A and B are shown apart, each in its own frame.
Chain A
Amino acid sequence: MLRYILRRIFLMIFVVLGVSFVVFFVINLAPGDVLSKIAPEDATLEEVEALRVELGLDRPIMFRYLDYMKGFVKGDLGKSYITGDDVFKTYMAKLPATLKLAFASIFVSILISIPLGIMAAKNRGSWKDNVSMVAALLGLSMPNFWLGLLLILLFSLKLGWFPTGGAIGFKSLILPAITVGTGLAALLTRTVRSSMLEVIRQDYLRTARAKGVKEKIVINKHAFKNALIPTITIAGTQLTRVLGGAVITETIFAWPGVGRLILDAVYSRDVTMITGCIILKSITISIILLIVDLLYAAVDPRIRAQFAKGGK
């Protein structure tokens, strides 16, 4: 197990280096010049050039990257060209809001998908199954930024139940969480259904039924527990998807998370902030994936045994 963890950490370092390289080069090779955003409007050409030298932007990109990485190792990702804020500190200040939204969305997704998936599997081929699957397909096809707008329209503007945006109190979390969670629930419902169907066919369930165990217990205790493992895996990978993809939802609901921070940086061409935030977000996702994998091993004895044998 330890060998596996060390191997994963080593791979993560390699991926982080690669991500930093890709993101730094893609963004810094941009044709648009950040100086046009930060230099005063009436600055002369000489003043702009002086600013370029001051910020080190006149040096070859490879040297700039190496300097960036020297700072990166020490936890220094530079300062925003626009606001002067420290990139790392700003990211860490916004991260809790994004994590809160991510976990709330996963919760909503589980709340919808598990009962729906079990119902579909139990009644395979019936109208209940068809309705669940059509709902899942619709959820998968609906752009979440549109769903977010519809939810604002109905629950905030018409009914006045929830605020249209911001992050004040529990109520403000509900609509963004439903927006992101519904899309996730679509995929998770399919996973719950298919893994339940696989388990339902197993002999031990027939034995349980033959022994006279009540159907409710057969499904909830014997079948669902074993169908849970693929469900946990998908929910784990979805967490990383939410962390990466909640940019638009955060914008619609004025949610003060990392996604909105990145987008504001994009609009103002704040190159250091964009680069730093995308790299940090990728690291956050890699760390969460590692934790999910380890939890997965902790839950399933078969996987633990596999680690103990092969170290992989």
Chain B
Amino acid sequence: MKETQTIEVKNKATETTQRISGSEAIIKCLIAEGVDILYGYPGGAIMPVYDELYKYQGKIHHVLTRHEQCAAHAAQGYARISGKVGVAMATSGPGATNLITGIADAEIDSTPIVCITGQVPSHLLGSDAFQETDIIGISTPVTKWNHQITKADEIPSVMAKAFYIAKSGRPGPVLIDITKDAQFEEFDFKYEKCTAVRSYKPVPKTDSQVVSQAAKLINAAKKPMIVWGQGIILGGAEQELKQVIEKAGIPSAWTILGASAIPTSHPLNIGMVGMHGNYAPNMLTNECDVLIAIGMRFDDRVTGKLDTYAKQAKIIHFEIDPAEVNKNVKVDIAVLGDAKESLIQLLPLLEEKTYPEWLQKFKDLYAIEFEKVIKGDLHPTKDGLTMGEVLKEINVQSKGNAAIVSDVGQHQMIACRYAEFNTTRSNITSGGLGTMGFALPAAIGAKMAAPDRDVVAIIGDGGYQMTIQELGTVFQQRIALKIVVLNNEFLGMVRQWQQLFFDKRYASTEMTNPDFVAIAKGYYINAQKVTKREQLKTAVREMMTTDGPYFLEVCVEKEDNVFPMIPSGASVSDIRLS
């Protein structure tokens, strides 16, 4: 609350106009929006802005990443852990196109970021000028909004709109492309925050009648189940969800991006749904009588085969984005609106209940999953190290307080399954796009946005090498990040599919890896390699207690698989334990 007030005061101060260049205006807009850190990479068409960054370096900290893709991912990590808008900057042409993967990731995972790209001077637009690319055309399908500025006096209103659109409603990425002549041009600067756009309705108003219909259905349920998603975190509705769960006594599961909104240890937290989620919530999706989906979008990795997804259940969907309602799963009641507001309205209408027998079913299935999968993952008796036991050790030593940033693949599923979370916004991973190479740069952004938190990046040996150059950023910025590479010398998840569905034809999934410890040490980062179980505890302890960045490589069993697993296109209740 206090923060908002100071920003408002600052805004009033900027109301007097002053004649400045477009590039200085960009910096002033960023400062007015409360941006303290931005990630980027300079180049010809954005140089005037970098020149201003040089003058303003006391007020705004620019982090030079080693690749523009990583500037976008770092901005995502910053946004995901803090809830603030992340900012990335790049030059025209290749600089701008390199941002695209991060922008696409932010679009599908609803992450608020603003990307600023330089563009060739307006008189050269369309002429195939040096480093010209139609970044507006390229970014259109993967941005919530984008806009090209060719006149300096557009900068304040467009920047204000960019931040408003990025963070309001269902958040997403915005790209602003600014021609070089607009950066040089001088004009009378005045900044006003954007509070509304007439063609844009970010949050549908919660309809209290629909909420009461939902409450009736929930109160009458015999076997209700909640599945919450990232909408809870984005809407800041963690407390409201907890109250609803506890009052109504409903077993509650989460999607991968919903992880950490409710502590792992909560007795009604029944685990993760989806392809590598927990056995019980997947199986019982097809047994519950009322399925309450809150802030989630029925992704195909969650639902499996739609024809056999929760057909027996009445479905209630709490959702901010009307385009998500009935997109994949037909629902019986759609409560449009902000999750927090809707849950506040729902809570008093709910009857206090418990479902001991129904909850016991989840416990029984968990016992089966524990016996067949979890025990072997977390308490292995075989020689080779498992990914799960590394996660368990991190849980123990961080006491469940670390933010876990995972990449994409087997280690990601293991991290999301086994990481223990006490606090919200602690699971940062590329869910929708599945972007390998996401974790290291995202963890940089996360650690810088939350310097007081332990941030542990869990990465596979494949994804690590997609953005390994960011060790340079870690070193230069002295970011006290913990990097764990779970090395199985394979693109493990693809190898698992090859084993299960392609008769073990391991096409291009085996990796001959370099000496990762030597590479980390080359960047003057403390590093250690673990090959044996007895080394693990001390190594993790050393990592967690070392000041500054630390790199830990753990050589794990080469051909372990992640289970449970819903094979692609199968029903949630056809989940396999082996």
Q: Do A and B bind each other?
A: no
Residues of A within 8 A of B (CB): none
